[in-house]
Amino acid sequence: MYLPLPVLLFLLYCVSGLPFYNGFYYSNSPNGRNRGEGLFNGVKLVVDTPEETLFSHRGANVTLPCHYHYEPDLLSPRPVRIKWWKLSENGAPEQDVLVAIGLRHRSFGDYQGRVHLRQERKREVSLEIQDLRLEDYGRYRCEVIDGLEDESGLVELELRGVVFPYQHPHGRYQFNFHEAQQACEEQDAVVASFEQLFRAWEEGLDWCNAGWLQDASVQYPITQARHPCGGPGLAPGVRSYGPRHRRLHRYDVFCFAAALKGQVYYLEHPEKLTLAEAKEACQEDGAQIAKVGQLFAAWKFRGLDRCDAGWLADGSARYPVAHPRPNCGSLEPGIRNFGFPDPQSRKYGVYCHLPR
């Protein structure tokens, strides 16, 4: 039985998931996620954003490129509405960033005062973000709305940083997911994403204890297969326990610290200090006792190299080695960890952080 065309269109309109607008059907371009196209009255609205991931660092200014055009081109200008928002990550809500109509624009939330629309070229609607923060990395959508038509493209922003495993002072596998998030924040870091952990594994990170990632999965990176880490018969890679219960299951955590703002240094002091004395000594020097994420960032991006163990803000004692040498730990660069000593111990100095 053949249905009349109006009836068929009505039935199709009632099927959820089909992109109908104003009684017309529009199909997305097969050219990929970074080229949105919409067809109206024989004219295509096309939004272009870069295919490659953009990399920047905390505290920097960055521009997320976005341009649009029409095919065939339209000679007369058309008023459009621009909307930028950050896509949801792991259950977090989407975040409105900026909307603009003509010369008027409005920014939202933590982006207020930090974002602007860049329109230096014809039909450019790029987003400028100032003073990048740790939580700014992720995927952003640029949407252009022309009347009833709208098309969009994605821009992915990553911050340069360092991934490090973090363990509770009472030992391994003590954090549920929410506690893991808090632990990373207290170390001037955030829970690492899988992409960040994978990149760290490619750079040589090898760690046998499983830890939370941003998507609430639990994984660990292995570059050298061995018995305690899945067995010697498995290929190197990032091992996965899969998604875990955010409240009931307990593991370590992989944190991500972005490039350092300020300076981390070993405080030259005539004697070793207790933890309380170490905090006070940094304050007297016009600084604060350094956090673990800050020490890792100083080691990774500033080449901090010191063979003296020092207190950090979480009560652990560590030291950074950029150039391995005898009597300074293993033959690999890294952060040497003495765990969480008795806070009354006078065996250690202190690492301080001086913000800019």
> Which pLDDT tens digits describe the chain residue by residue (356 residues)?
444 444 333 443 343 333 322 222 223 333 334 556 555 567 899 999 999 999 998 889 999 999 999 998 888 888 899 999 999 876 567 899 999 998 899 999 999 999 999 988 999 999 999 999 988 989 999 999 998 789 999 999 999 999 999 999 999 999 999 999 999 999 999 999 999 999 999 999 999 999 999 999 999 999 998 888 888 888 899 999 999 999 999 999 999 998 888 999 999 999 999 999 999 999 999 999 999 999 999 999 999 999 999 999 999 999 999 999 998 988 899 999 999 999 999 999 999 999 97
**Distant-in-sequence, close-in-space partners of 256: CB < 8 Å, separation ≥ 6:** 134, 161, 162, 163, 184, 189, 190, 191, 192, 193, 196
- Cα(154)–Cα(351) distance, rounded to whole angstroms? 41
- Cα(203)–Cα(196) distance, rounded to whole angstroms? 11
pLDDT tens-place string over residues 4-51: 444 333 443 343 333 322 222 223 333 334 556 555 567 899 999 999
pLDDT tens-place string over residues 117-146: 998 899 999 999 999 998 898 999 999 999
Q: Which residues pair with 118 in a beta bridge?
A: 126
**Distant-in-sequence, close-in-space partners of 136: CB < 8 Å, separation ≥ 6:** 129, 157, 159
Distances (CA, A) of 19 to 94, 145, 200: 21, 15, 40
Residue-level pLDDT at 260: 83
Residue-level pLDDT at 219: 97
Query: Which DSSP symbol is given to 290?
Result: P
Cα-trace Rg, the chain: 26
Residue-level pLDDT at 37: 55
User: Look-up: residue for tokens 């040497």?
Assistant: 336
With contact defined as beta carbons under 8 Å apart, do 33 and 47 qualify? no
With contact defined as beta carbons under 8 Å apart, do 166 and 316 qualify? no
With contact defined as beta carbons under 8 Å apart, do 230 and 242 qualify? no
Query: Which DSSP symbol is given to 122?
Result: T
Interstrand relation of 126-129 and 115-118 (parallel, antiparallel or unpaired): antiparallel
User: Look-up: residue for tokens 């970074």?
Assistant: 34
Residue-level pLDDT at 90: 60
Phi, psi dihedrals of residue 139, rounded to the nearest 5°? -105, 130
| For the chain, the helix, strand and coil percentages under 3-state DSSP, each to the nearest 5 | 15, 35, 45
Instruction: Decide: helix, strand or coil at residue 12.
Output: helix
Residue-level pLDDT at 38: 55
